């Protein structure tokens, strides 16, 4: 991609990040998105896996194992990419962006929370479509929390969602 095109995309990404991050200035919104971010740290997904086994019994194990495999693959992928790209978090380089939460690691690209929210939701709803009306809004809100809290650019979130979709697709095809 030509440098001018990349700069244009980066400029839009940064401007969107600044705009979206303003939501965190409102205490009620900040509390909601901080809570969603904490749930997206893994608590929600571990609870979902346990709930599937408790609710559906042994028939849930293939889905739970796919989710666990997606979690492991996701962590491996995003850790490698974060180190290789070394993209600083927006609050570190954009003065108008405020961090409303402490990050789990140093770098921004891609959003691991979004990657996992997407892969877990795709895997779970493939087997249990009745969960879609609960999981998809949660996944979308977890993804939205990342730039709102100043921890990711919108492009980090989009990349995380795409990677999560690929991981889920591969695991569902197996």
Name the residue ranges covered by the structural domains of the chain: 3-173
Q: What is the mean pLDDT of the chain?
A: 94
| Buried/exposed code over 135-171 (b: 16+ C-beta within 10 A; e: otherwise) | beebbbbbbbbbbbbbbbbbbbbbbbbebbebbbeeb
Concatenate the DSSP letters of all residues of 35-58 into one string. Answer: HHHHIIIIIHHHHHHHHHHHHHGG
User: 10-14, 95-99, 154-158: which range is least confident on average?
Assistant: 10-14
Q: Is the peptide bond preceding residue 33 cis, with omega within 30 degrees of 0?
A: no
pTM for the full predicted model: 0.93
Comparing 1 with 36, the larger pLDDT belongs to: 36
pLDDT of 135 strictly over 60? yes
CATH node for 3-173: 1.10.606.20
pLDDT digits 0-9 by tens, 63-95: 999 999 999 999 999 999 999 999 999 999 999
Nearest-angstrom CA–CA distance, 63 and 153: 31
Q: What is the mean pLDDT of residues 107-127?
A: 97
pLDDT digits 0-9 by tens, 42-60: 999 999 999 999 999 999 9
**Most distant CA atoms of the chain, gap in Å:** 55
Q: What is the percent of the chain with per-residue pLDDT over 70, rounded to a whole number?
A: 97
Among 21, 158, 36, 153, CA closest to 100: 21
């Amino acid at each position: 991609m030509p440098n001018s095109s990349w700069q244009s995309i980066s400029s839009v990404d940064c401007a969107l990040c600044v705009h979206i991050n303003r939501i965190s200035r409102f205490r009620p919104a900040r509390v909601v998105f901080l809570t969603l971010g904490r749930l997206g740290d893994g608590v929600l997904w571990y609870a979902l896996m346990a709930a599937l086994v408790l609710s559906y019994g042994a028939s849930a194990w293939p889905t739970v194992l796919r989710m666990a495999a997606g979690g492991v693959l996701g962590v491996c992928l995003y850790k490698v990419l974060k180190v290789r790209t070394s993209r600083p978090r927006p609050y570190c380089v954009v003065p108008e962006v405020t961090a409303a939460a402490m990050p789990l690691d140093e770098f921004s690209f891609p959003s691991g929370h979004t990657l996992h929210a997407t892969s877990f939701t795709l895997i779970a709803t493939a087997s249990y479509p009745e969960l879609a009306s609960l999981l998809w809004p949660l996944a979308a809100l977890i993804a939205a929390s990342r730039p709102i809290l100043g921890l990711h650019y919108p492009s980090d979130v989009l990349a995380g969602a795409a990677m999560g979709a690929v991981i889920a697709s591969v695991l569902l095809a197996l």
